[in-house]
Amino acid sequence: MTTIMALILILFASMLLAGGRQGFVSFLGLIFNFGIVFISVVLIAMGFPYLIVTLINAVIILVVSIYFGNEQGRNADVAFITALLVVGLLVILIIPVQHWAQVQGFGVENTEDLEGLSLQLGVRFLDVSCAMTILSCLGAVAEAAVAVATGLTELQAHNHQISDAELRRTGTRVGKEIVGTAFNTLFFGFYGELLGLFIWFSRLHYSFGMVLNDKIFVSQLIMTLISAIGVVLTIPVTIGIVIYQHHHQPATTANDEHRLK
């Protein structure tokens, strides 16, 4: 048994013990999302337009992440709409930022590993970089959207006469708690992934300016910052959607009432 297979089995057992049937469904969703990402790589490598491929697969990943990982109710619908809007806003931000930053491709630290290999792959590394950044922010956005939407829809289901101001206060309070946790998760993920690179910087006495101009460091930093921006944007967008539905739709649906009981 390989190490990866052992870790997969441990993950599956943990999700099954912690979540039961829902944990099993979430595990299947994780495998499905992995397949979607793999298909994205293949299609982009075959020459299909990267933006169309990425956006279609991003929608599929959001559907699987939100609806497979949660009970299908009004909170899931709100979270999905929020995630779509936020990802759309992030795409508008990601494409020009990646063009301005010019951090696509490999850094000087990869020179030795790439020696003797051809980089003429027939694919623009800038397109690959944009696709990577879009896909990397999906998890953080979906998680934040589900957390805020669940809190607000549960509150609204128990109090049909709740005011817009109270919804905003509650959403903001929940959002503040989520932002702190999400930022820590993103930061430590960024730090852990680049720990070897940071040791490289230290041993070779990189100056602060050299670090800020390192392609690998900047590309990872951009992805982390984009994800953080997505988490922050998720909070007001979710609050706005819940308030809109509060005025235009019934406070609960039959599915929500059954779930609350």
> Can you give the residue ranges of every domain in the chain?
71-107+118-260
Look at residues 175, 185, 154, 181 and name the one whose alpha carbon lies nearest to residue 238.
Answer: 175
CA distance 71 to 33: 18
> Tens place of pLDDT for every residue, the chain, 261 residues?
688 899 999 999 998 898 788 888 888 888 998 899 999 888 988 888 989 999 999 999 999 988 876 666 778 888 999 999 999 999 999 999 988 988 887 766 666 666 666 667 777 888 888 999 999 999 889 988 988 888 888 877 777 777 778 888 888 888 888 888 888 888 888 888 888 888 888 888 888 888 888 888 888 899 999 999 999 999 999 989 888 887 776 544 444 444 444
* Sequence-distant contacts of 217-222: CB under 8 A, at least 24 apart: 218/101, 218/103, 219/101, 219/103, 219/104, 219/129, 220/190, 220/193, 220/194, 221/190, 222/97, 222/98, 222/101, 222/103, 222/133
CA distance 141 to 133: 13
Specify burial of residue 8 (Cβ count, 10 A radius: 0-12, 13-18, 19+).
middle
For residue 170, what are its two tokens? Answer: 């509650």
For residue 12, what are its two tokens? Answer: 């599956």
CA distance 4 to 10: 10
CA distance 107 to 114: 10
